[in-house]
Structure formats: structure tokens, C-alpha cells
A and B are shown apart, each in its own frame.
Chain A
Amino acid sequence: MADQKTLAEPTGDAPFRRMMRPMEGRLLGGVAQGLATQLRLDPVVIRLAFVLLSVVDGIGAVVYAVLWMVTPRQPHQGQSPARDWSQLAAFTAIGLALLAFGWLTGASQGGIGMLPFAVGGIGALILWQQADPERRRSWMSGAALSIRKNRVRTLLGVMLVVVGAAGFLYSQGELAWQEARPGLLFTVVVVGGLAVIAAPWLAGLWKELQLERRERIRQEERAEVAAMVHDSVLHTLTLIQRVAHDPREVSRLARSQERELRNWLYQPAQDADATLAAAVRRIAAEEEDAHGVPIEVVCVGDIDLDGGGRLGAMLKAARQAMVNAAKYSESPSISVYAEVEGEEVTIFVKDRGKGFDFETVPLDRMGIRQSIIGRMERHGGSARVRTEPGEGTEVMLTMKVEKA
């Protein structure tokens, strides 16, 4: 399956690339710059956002660290360029100023309420950052679609977020108020609002994951079928083309391929040495291959083989009967019928060939007298041959067995 590997190749010139950390013009690790390129924003905006977030319980710093770890560095030739220290100093100053301000006013005391935001936000960012650009676009369009489709839900969500945020800020501003409790309460409201907005999007994500798994299973199954078609069917077709001048060989090849495919499609894996029906089928297949005459096998009932004893002898006799029919009868096809009923096993081998006069068969012909009749009688069974010139031949083998 040569064309499968193209799936894994990166899409080099897609409008969106995977996020990278560029080395040129970085201040710390290049995270902000990479993110800015990814989101098509000015790096300054991202940097300010990071600084601002770092002031509030240090979320920005954590996010930055995590992104630094999970984002690959953009390949860069030569020595790493130096950082722009003056800019870094400026941002640090801003950060310190904000921190001091926050500490003085107490605005940064988000408390435990801020933790869900930190965790959720980092998770979402990682997901976003790792995703394939194609998938990202489909998420976006999916989210946009669901927003359009479900205005009430979105409106409700946005309202909850706004109320929650307003309450949160209010409670933070009013120091006199009973500190953490209302803050926590409004945080819950905010989270609820976000959940309402994000639910369909998350559901879509989940569905997509399921779809992808199913697709993978299907791919595997297809690969198995392809292997079968390639290893055996295509092979046989090639062989057939090569021996096209020999109709006998062509039909033999086609027949054996058909049998193989049929077994693969319809028949459970059978151990040819375990039961009578399986053994009869295997023998018929072998003789069919050897002589190029189709042998139709019908089995009714089944029985375990007794390890080379009576049934083994019977199978040998049946094989000899098939060989005779295929070699001498000139019949276009041979029917084999094996039946197990109670304690009696019967096998019929019938052809519609030219037949013969049983009385005129010379005594030294080993095929029928020794290999079939003699063998059956030695093992306590019996064999009957019905034939007439022009009427075809039928060999009937009977054997008594003790059923376990």
C-alpha cells in the first residue's frame, strides 16, 4: 500500500504551519514570536498578554513555560542570534510595575478560583498548538457553524460569562466584601458559561476522534483484503496470461484460485487433519489441482478422524477413486458426496465419463481391485463400483465406525 504513506507527510506550503519557535528576534525562548506568527498578530500584543497574565497569579509564566517545552525550535543555520536585551528589560519593567500595582491594590489575589482557568487554558493551548492546520480550520468552521446554529445557547453562555466576569471584578475591587467566597462563586458562573459555549465544540472534537478510529480500523481491513488480492489473485491472473495457449492449465489455475478465494471468504479455518469432511475437501482439492478436472464436494454431517485407522484407509480409497475418475473417465467434472449418518460413513465418487465393463478389467489392474475394494475390505468396510460403458462410473465406499 504505497500510497498510504503520503498521508503522514507534512503539508509544507499550507497557509498554516505547525507552530515553531523562531530564533531570530526572540526575547526569551521565542514562544511569543512563534505564537504571534501563528495567530497573525503583532508579537508585542502577545508579549504584553503574557506579562499581564504573569502578574495574575503567574499564569502567564506557567503557560509560557509549557509552550516552550512543547513547541519545537525552528531550525536555524549558524550561531544563535543574540537576544534583544533592551526590549526584554522594557517588558520586565512593565511586568514589575503591574505586579507592584496588583500587590498594592490586591487585584491579583484571584485565589483558588483562578486555577481552573490556568489548567483549562493551558490544556486548550496545547491542543491547539499540536493540531494539524487542516483540522484546526475545520474546528473553527465547526464552532462558527454551531454558534450560528444555536444562538440561544451562545447568547446564554456569553451572558453568563459577562455576569460572572463582572461579578468577579466587582468582588475583587470591593476589598471589604467577604473575600474569597463571592469570588469563587462568580468563577463558577464564568466556568459554567464557558462550558455552555464550548460544549458543542468539545462534542464535535470527540466525534471526530471516534470517526478517526473507525477509519483506521477500516484501513487495516482494507490492507488485509489488498494483501490477499495481491498475493494470490493477481499472481494467478499473471500466470494465466502466461499460459494462455494452454486451456487446460488456464482452467486449472482459475479453479484453484477460485477454491482458495472461496475458502478465504466463506469457510472457517479448518484443520484438514481433524475431521472427515475437511479431509475429503482437501483430497479433492489436491486431485483437482493435479489433474485439472473440477471436483464438486458435498458433505453432510461430520466426524473426527481416528488417526489413520479405518477412516484413513477409506480416505485413501476415496482418493484412488477420484484419481481414476480424473485420469480415465474423460468426464468434464466429478461429484464427491460424503455422509456421516449415525455409525455409518459413506463416500460416493461419481463421474459422467465413458465408463467401462467391470468384468473385462484385467486382474492385475491395481487401481480398483486393490487400492479401492481390497483396501476397504481389509479394514472392515465395503466398496461397490457401478459402471457401464457410456453411463459413467460411481464408486461407493461404506465404513462402520463407533461414535464416541
Chain B
Amino acid sequence: MTRVLIVDDHRLFRSGVRAELGNSIEVVGEAEDVESAVKAIAEHQPDVVLLDVHMPGGGGQEVLRRVLGSGSQVRFLALSVSDAAEDVIGVIRGGARGYVTKNISGKELTDAIRRVADGDAVFSPRLAGFVLDAFASSEAPPIDPELDSLTQREREVLRLIARGYAYKEIAKELFISVKTVETHVSSVLRKLQLSNRHELSRWATARRLV
């Protein structure tokens, strides 16, 4: 059973998510701002934190900074109405292991939570689009070739995600296992978090979280 904590400043939305999540997920608590979120995470030690991006007191990024900064191993899945590039890239670089928008269905959300709990990454089609955009060929030479560019395979996986394919369908399409798809996505996540590519730095500085 996956233990989940919901952090969102809208009560209606918290109860909505609670109702939608399947039986395989236990909601251990809720929080409505940065302060209460940090406290609740320390208290409950959940497997996955569902994190809203825009909240009073600094937003999701502040929660990430304080919790992950203190050395906690809690995993975060960002959940937001916003699909602006700064918000998406911002929380991912802040340490979230995935980003989904709030219009996601209950079943998809349950899948995403399980995947994050297992240590994998979750990309929405839009996030995949942003990543492809950010890693598209640019004039500036990469500073770190390993981190600053995507492999052909990673690019293929991301493109399929952007086209609306589920992991299982991607695996079938590329004749690889679902596990391999997850490995590729996790590797992209790592690059996204650590790369110093100009486009990423620009997004990051826009949100003051270099």
C-alpha cells in the first residue's frame, strides 16, 4: 500500500483527489501551505507527496527546498493546474520526480503515484514537449555532453510520450520492455535536474532556483 500526503491550498481539490484515488493508495494526511506541509511530511514520512505548485508561502518549490534540503528521501509528484514552462521545469529542477496536470483522471493519477513510489519518473505529454524543446539543437555548445544532450533513444521515448502514448504502448512500439522505458525516462529526469543547458538555466533563473 502506497502512503500518500496531499499538499494543496484548495480544500475542495484535496477531497476530490482523496475520493478519486484507488484502494491501493492510502492518504495519510493533507496540508494546505508550506509550513504545514513541511511539518506533515516530517511527521507522517509518506512514500509520495502530491505537491501543488502555487501555494501561499513560497509554493511547491519552497516545500521541495526545505524538505529535500534537510536530506529527506521523500518522493514528490507535482500536480498543478498550471502548465507554464517555468512552473513545470521549476519544480522538476527543484527535485520533484514527475509533473502531471490536475485534469488527469483518477486511474492515471494512481498509476503515476505508484510509478513515483517505485522510484521512476512521470512525464506528462506537455512536460515531454518542454524537454524536447529545451534539449533541441542550439548554437551554444554543450558544457557537459553527457548531461546536456539526449540520446536518440531518449528522444524517441519522449516524442512518443508527447504524442500521447502510455509507457506500455511505448514499450510495444520500440520493442523494449516497460522497465527500459522507465529507465530512459528516469535518465531524462536526471539530465533535466542537473544539466546546465542555457534554456534550462533560463527557466530556472526565472524562478530563482538555480
Please give the residue numbers on chain A whose beta carbons come within 8 Å of chain B beta carbons, in ascending order.
Answer: 262, 265-266, 294, 296, 298-301, 335, 337, 339, 341, 348, 350, 352, 394
Within 8 A of A (CB), among B152-203: 159, 162-165
* Residues of B109-148 whose CB lies within 8 A of A: 125-126, 128-129, 132-133, 136
Identify A335's interface contact among B84, B125, B132, B159, CB under 8 A: B125
Are the C-beta atoms of A300 and B132 separated by less than 8 Å? Answer: yes
A350 neighbours in B (Cβ, 8 Å)? 163-165
List chain A residues, Cβ under 8 A from B159: 337, 339
- Chain B residues close to A by CB (< 8 Å): 82-84, 103, 125-126, 128-129, 132-133, 136, 159, 162-165
Contacts of B164 in A (CB 8 A): 296, 335, 337, 348, 350, 352
29 sampled A-B residue pairs with Cβ under 8 A: A265-B82, A265-B84, A266-B83, A266-B84, A296-B125, A296-B126, A298-B125, A298-B128, A298-B162, A299-B129, A300-B129, A300-B133, A300-B136, A300-B162, A301-B133, A301-B136, A335-B125, A337-B125, A337-B129, A337-B159, A337-B162, A339-B159, A339-B162, A348-B163, A348-B164, A350-B163, A350-B164, A350-B165, A352-B164
In the bound complex, residues from chain B placing their C-beta under 8 Å from that of A298 are 125-126, 128-129, 162-163
Residues of A within 8 A of B82 (CB): 265-266
- Shortest beta-carbon distance, B58 to chain A, in Å? 20
Of chain B, the residue at the smallest CB distance from A301 is B136
- In the complex, what distance in Å separates the CA atom of A341 from the CA atom of B83? 23
From DSSP, what is the main secondary structure of chain A's interface residues?
A: strand
* Residues of A with C-beta under 8 A to B133: 300-301
Which 5 pairs show the lowest CB-CB distances between chains A and B? A335-B164, A298-B129, A266-B84, A337-B163, A300-B132
Chain B residues, CB < 8 A from A266: 82-84
Chain B neighbourhood of A300, CB < 8 A: 129, 132-133, 136, 162
Nearest chain B residue, comparing its CB with the CB of A386: B173
Distance A262 CA – B82 CA, assembled complex (angstroms): 8
Residue of B nearest to A396 (CB): B163
CA distance A394 to B172 in the complex (A): 15
Inter-chain pairs besides A298-B129, A335-B164, A337-B164, 14 sampled, C-beta below 8 Å: A265-B84, A266-B84, A296-B126, A298-B125, A300-B136, A300-B162, A335-B125, A335-B163, A337-B129, A337-B162, A337-B163, A339-B159, A339-B162, A348-B164
| Residue of B82, B128, B132 ringed by the most chain A CB atoms within 10 A | B132
For A301, the chain B residues whose CB sits under 8 A away are 133, 136
CB neighbours (8 Å) of A335 from chain B are 125, 163-164
Bound complex: CA of A127 vs CA of B105, how far in Å?
A: 64
Would you give the shortest CB distance from B31 to chain A, in whole angstroms?
Answer: 25
Q: How far is the CA of A335 from the CA of B103 in the complex (A)?
A: 14
A294 to B105, CA, bound (A): 13
List residues of chain A with CB within 8 A of the CB of B129. Answer: 298-300, 337
B85 closest partner in A (C-beta): A266
Most A-side CB within 10 Å, residue of B128, B133, B159, B164: B164
